[in-house]
Structure 1
Amino acid sequence: MPTFTALTTLVGKDSAEKLGEAMERLTPEPTGVGVFEIEDGSGLWEVGGYFTESPDAAGLAVLAAAFDAKPFVVSELPETDWVAKVKRELAPVKAGRFFVYGSHDADKVPVGSEPLLIEAAMAFGTGHHGTTLGCLKALDRIAGEGFHGRSVADIGCGTAVLAMGAARIWPETVLASDIDEVAVEVAEANVSANGLTGQVRCVEAAGFGHPDLAAKAPFDLVFANILKAPLVDLAPEMGANIQAGGFAILSGILNEQADEVVAAYDAAGFDVHTREEIGEWTTLTLCHR
Structure 2
Amino acid sequence: MISLASTHRVNVAVGDEHTAKGIVDALTEIFFEGQAAVAAFERPDGRWDVTVHFAEPPDQPLVRELVGNAAGTEIAASITFDTVEAKDWVKASLEDLVPVSAGRFIVHGQHDRARVPPNKLGIEIEAALAFGTGHHGTTRGCLLLLDHVLKAWRPRRVLDLGTGTGVLAIAAARALHEKVLASDIDPPSVQVARDNARLNVSGHLVQAIRATGFAAPHFASRAPFDLVLANILANPLRQLAGPMARQLAPSAMVILSGLLTHQAPAVIAAYRARGLVPLRHLRVEGWSSLLLRKVN
For the aligned pair, the TM-score class normalised by the smaller chain equals 0.7 to 0.9
Partner of 2:175: 169
Q: 1:215 aligns with which of 221, 225, 235?
A: 221
Distance 1:3 1:207, change over 3 A: closer
| TM-aligned CA deviation for residue 75 of structure 1 | 5.0
| TM-aligned CA deviation for residue 177 of structure 1 | 0.5
Q: 1:104 aligns with which of 83, 108, 111?
A: 111
Partner of 2:185: 179
Distance 1:106 1:229, change over 3 A: same
| TM-aligned CA deviation for residue 151 of structure 1 | 0.3
Question: Is the Cα–Cα contact under 8 Å of residues 128 and 192 in structure 2 kept in the other structure?
Answer: no
Question: Is the Cα–Cα contact under 8 Å of residues 228 and 254 in structure 2 kept in the other structure?
Answer: yes
Task: Indicate yes or no: 2:224 matched with 1:232.
Answer: no
Gaps of 5+ in 2: 11-27, 32-53, 62-76
Task: Indicate yes or no: 2:134 matched with 1:127.
Answer: yes
Distance 1:147 1:49, change over 3 A: closer
Distance 1:257 1:100, change over 3 A: same
Question: Is the Cα–Cα contact under 8 Å of residues 125 and 161 in structure 1 kept in the other structure?
Answer: yes
Task: Indicate yes or no: 2:100 matched with 1:93.
Answer: yes
Report the identity percentage: 43
Query: What's the TM-score, normalizing by structure 1?
Result: 0.74
| TM-aligned CA deviation for residue 50 of structure 1 | 4.1
| TM-aligned CA deviation for residue 38 of structure 1 | 2.7
1-structure distance, mates of 2:258, 2:141: 10
Question: Is the Cα–Cα contact under 8 Å of residues 224 and 250 in structure 1 kept in the other structure?
Answer: yes
Q: Which has the higher mean CA deviation after the structures are superposed, 86-95 or 245-254? A: 86-95
Q: 1:77 aligns with which of 65, 68, 82?
A: 82
2-structure distance, mates of 1:197, 1:283: 27
Partner of 2:249: 243
2-structure distance, mates of 1:49, 1:181: 14
Task: Indicate yes or no: 2:38 matched with 1:38.
Answer: no
RMSD after superposition: 2.9
Question: Is the Cα–Cα contact under 8 Å of residues 153 and 174 in structure 1 kept in the other structure?
Answer: yes
| TM-aligned CA deviation for residue 216 of structure 1 | 1.1
Matched position secondary structure for 1:126 = coil
2-structure distance, mates of 1:198, 1:257: 36
| TM-aligned CA deviation for residue 89 of structure 1 | 2.4
Q: 1:137 aligns with which of 119, 137, 144?
A: 144
| TM-aligned CA deviation for residue 123 of structure 1 | 7.0
Q: Which has the higher mean CA deviation after the structures are superposed, 97-106 or 83-92? A: 83-92
2-structure distance, mates of 1:165, 1:284: 17
1-structure distance, mates of 2:8, 2:278: 44
Paired amino acid for 2:199: A
Partner of 1:158: 164
Gaps of 5+ in 1: 7-35, 40-47, 61-72
2-structure distance, mates of 1:76, 1:220: 45
2-structure distance, mates of 1:4, 1:132: 25
Partner of 1:147: 153
Distance 1:75 1:4, change over 3 A: farther
2-structure distance, mates of 1:177, 1:150: 17
Deviation string for 1:17-51 (max 9, x for gaps)?
Answer: xxxxxxxxxxxxxxxxxxx9738xxxxxxxx8845
